[in-house]
Amino acid sequence: MKRNIQIKIDGIEVTAKQGETILATAQKAGVFIPTLCYDGRVEIYGACGICVVEAEGNPKLLKACATEAADGMNILTDTPRVRESRKTNLELLLSNHKGDCRAPCLRACPGHTDCQGYVGLAANGAYDEALKLIKENIPLPASIGRVCPHPCEDECRRTLVDDAVGIALVKRSMGDFDLAGDKPWIPTCAKKTGKSVGVIGGGPFGLSVAYFLRRMGHDATIYESMPAAGGMLRYGIPEYRLPKAVIDKEVAIIEKMGVRIETGVRVGEDISFAKIRKSHDAVSVGIGAWVSTGTGAKGEDAIGVYGGIDMLRQTVLGAPPELGECVAIIGGGNTAMDACRTAIRLGAKEVYNVYRRTKNEMPADLIEIEEAEEEGVIFKNLTNPIEIVKDKAGRVSKIILQIMELGEPDASGRRSPVPVQGKTETLTVDSVILAIGQAVSPDIFGKAAPELTRKKGIAYDPETYRTSLKGVFAGGDCGNDKISIAIEAIADAKVAAGVIDAYLGGEDVAYKPPYLVTRDDLTEKTFEDRERACRPKMKLASPKKRTKNFDEVVAGWTPEEAGKEGLRCLECGCGDFFECKLYEYANLYGTQPERFGNEVSVKDADGLPAAPDAADDGHPYIIREEGKCILCGLCVRICESVEGASALGLVGRGFNTVVKPAFETPLSASGCTSCGQCVSVCPTGALRERLALKKSVPLATSKKTITCTLCPDACKVTLESRGGLLVKIDPARDKNGIQGKICMAAKFGIVDVLTQEREKAGA
């Protein structure tokens, strides 16, 4: 009989059995030691080197998985030396790890919204779950889905086949689906903390900060100077792009969560900034940038010269300025396009857009430029205002434009416009709208103003959103001299809310973006087997009809149409992202694998037909992705020792070693019993399930352990689901984290049957 021995792990007295390893003892005691290659059912391999620990009195680091516990040992699992060793080993593994942790659409989204996830859920008909996933990062999906310039779509790899997936329109559809129901979904909130935050400004940043803080259990009160909340979404974007009724409904949901919104309250006039600070445990400032800036051209003080944001705001408030019949709008961004198209709807007969570069360099969305041109806007590209001519009464009468040409690229990469000497053009106009920039008015603070930037914006730390005033945070357009799109303001809000939450709990934290493995070697050839299926044309009101009113121009998709569009997704992100231990540990230890280069020794075959990273074995249930394999050997050992199948083996020598089926046959012809054990133990997603879903999509799931009744063995299995969508089934783990056995019928058959039943029911 093996005797008991006593050891210490991180100062904790632990009892071990003679012959038991340090790792097994630690796991039994609930002490965390990371590992990528250990499983209690098979012989020790020690390949990953992540489980190293220090033993007092021993100059060498020990592999906890391969070192037996000895009486009186004093083990340290988290010293600087241990952490550095684990970090280095992880970096070496990552330098030879090929794939995408997350899809490029998610990486391109400023709000880090799981685009692949909600598009995939929509494709599977799980509209409620798609909406909930979106609202983990975006409190206003129906609004943002209408106005976001969708940088996610710019990076969509579907463009290597045909058109980008309509990610923003899918988001809008899920938001509209929710709002159209009798009971829109209201996110649950954590138990009240007793802390409160004053939020100054009810735009995208302020609404979102309050939303996220409320979900964390804090009280939040928004102080908004305008008659209704929404900020630039309400007062800077015309009704034909974003109906105010949509904003009203989404704001109402935030109020139902318990956020208090006080409108018509001007901070600095109706209530002092000092009083708000005194009334709350923290303050978040998101006052936006509402001051229109000029070009510096002579005559900008003429009657009839308006700021772009001022003109749009007055129109929303029902008191649009008198523009006359001929209007010149200066600027090339979305605000300029909104001003152009609004001027036409207000009755202007001739609307000129003046921009110093060509249409190709305009920062406005292409669709906005195209629709403006369809509606009759006259584009005066490569021109720049040098004088606004006044009549005797001081009103605008003409505008003189300098003809420009493109020179060398500037710091942004765009070609710099330079004047063509002696060439000008004069337009007769009744009004001029300046839509070239916006600035912050910091008047709300009084004498207690935080530190400001050179341009009078609020200065704050970009990693903590802290201003120079204790307990005061800022973000969105009002700070650090940046003018952001709405999704960027919402992204600021989520990070700021997390920092404020930590501050309220007495912690001082800073945001660090997670490390992600990425790839950029995919081309049109990678996806040449994919059938072309271009994005369907959006239903759009005719130019003649839409210029006569402010009705919404774009009809949007039904949930079913959005789901069909979701099927076009190429599934770029790692299918096992939420189970990947390599990703988890890489971020736990702050890895920087680039210092070892990125020479991947295993190269996928050309074509990569099953997925961007996958080799297709024709197996009905399992996908292999050799580029993600870290040679931990778990799949080989489990297959041989636990299942007795020997379907997988280590092929090659040295740096050319890979895990492949025996004799390099397809996995489906290798003697594989489809038990799925290899998939369950793989720590990196190099082996993963073919999910029995219309569209395979990586998802964070809820887990429930049940007893399988398919045979007398009555194995314990864990069901993973998202809402009503069963995603996968795994063997359950015991109290020491060791998985049990599972057969093909339990692993894949149950999901197959339920999927078939769901499809028959039309779900």
What 3 state SS string does 578-619 have?
A: HHCHHHHHHHHCCCCHHHHCCCCCCCCCCCCCCCCCCECCCC
Average pLDDT over residues 177-183: 94
More confident position, 693 or 34: 34
**What pLDDT was estimated at residue 610?**
39
Ranges 47-61, 652-666, 706-720: which has the least confidence: 652-666
**What pLDDT was estimated at residue 602?**
44
User: Could you tell me if 727 and 129 are in contact, meaning their C-beta atoms sit under 8 angstroms apart?
Assistant: no
**What pLDDT was estimated at residue 691?**
84
Task: List pLDDT tens digits, range 229-255.
Answer: 999 999 999 999 999 999 999 999 999
- The rounded mean pLDDT for the chain is 91
Average pLDDT over residues 154-183: 96
340 pLDDT more than 90: yes
pLDDT band per the 50, 70, 90 thresholds, residue 224: very high
Which residues make Cβ contacts (< 8 Å) with residue 72, sequence separation at least 6?
A: 6, 7
Q: Domains of the chain: which residue ranges? A: 4-78, 293-436, 693-763
The whole-model pTM stands at 0.92
606 pLDDT more than 60: no
Q: For 693-763, CATH number?
A: 2.20.25.90
More confident position, 387 or 613: 387
Percent of the chain scored above 90 by pLDDT? Answer: 72
More confident position, 751 or 550: 550
Beta bridge partners of 284: 199, 473
Average pLDDT over residues 393-414: 90
Task: List pLDDT tens digits, range 294-329.
Answer: 999 999 999 999 999 999 999 999 999 999 999 999
pLDDT band per the 50, 70, 90 thresholds, residue 603: very low
Q: What angle do CA 735, 736, 737 make, to 5 degrees?
A: 90
Average pLDDT over residues 457-475: 95
* Cα–Cα distances in angstroms (integers) from residue 690 to residues 114, 575, 611, 650, in the given order: 20, 9, 11, 23
Task: List pLDDT tens digits, range 580-598.
Answer: 999 999 999 999 888 776 5
Ranges 143-152, 187-196, 198-207, 602-611: which has the least confidence: 602-611
Architecture of domain 4-78: Roll (3.10)
Average pLDDT over residues 603-628: 63
pLDDT band per the 50, 70, 90 thresholds, residue 446: confident
Sign of torsion, CA 450 453 455 457?
negative
Superfamily of structural domain 293-436: FAD/NAD(P)-binding domain (3.50.50.60)
**What pLDDT was estimated at residue 597?**
64
Pairing between β-strand 431-434 and β-strand 305-307 as defined by DSSP bridges: parallel
Task: List pLDDT tens digits, range 81-124.
Answer: 999 999 999 999 998 888 899 999 999 999 999 999 999 999 99
User: Could you tell me if 587 and 515 are in contact, meaning their C-beta atoms sit under 8 angstroms apart?
Assistant: yes
Percent of the chain scored above 70 by pLDDT? Answer: 95
More confident position, 690 or 506: 506
pLDDT band per the 50, 70, 90 thresholds, residue 479: confident
**What pLDDT was estimated at residue 749?**
76
415 pLDDT more than 90: no
**What pLDDT was estimated at residue 595?**
76
Closest CA to 98 of 578, 626, 569: 626
Helical H segments across 53-189, by residue range = 80-94, 104-108, 115-123, 127-134, 141-147, 151-154, 167-180
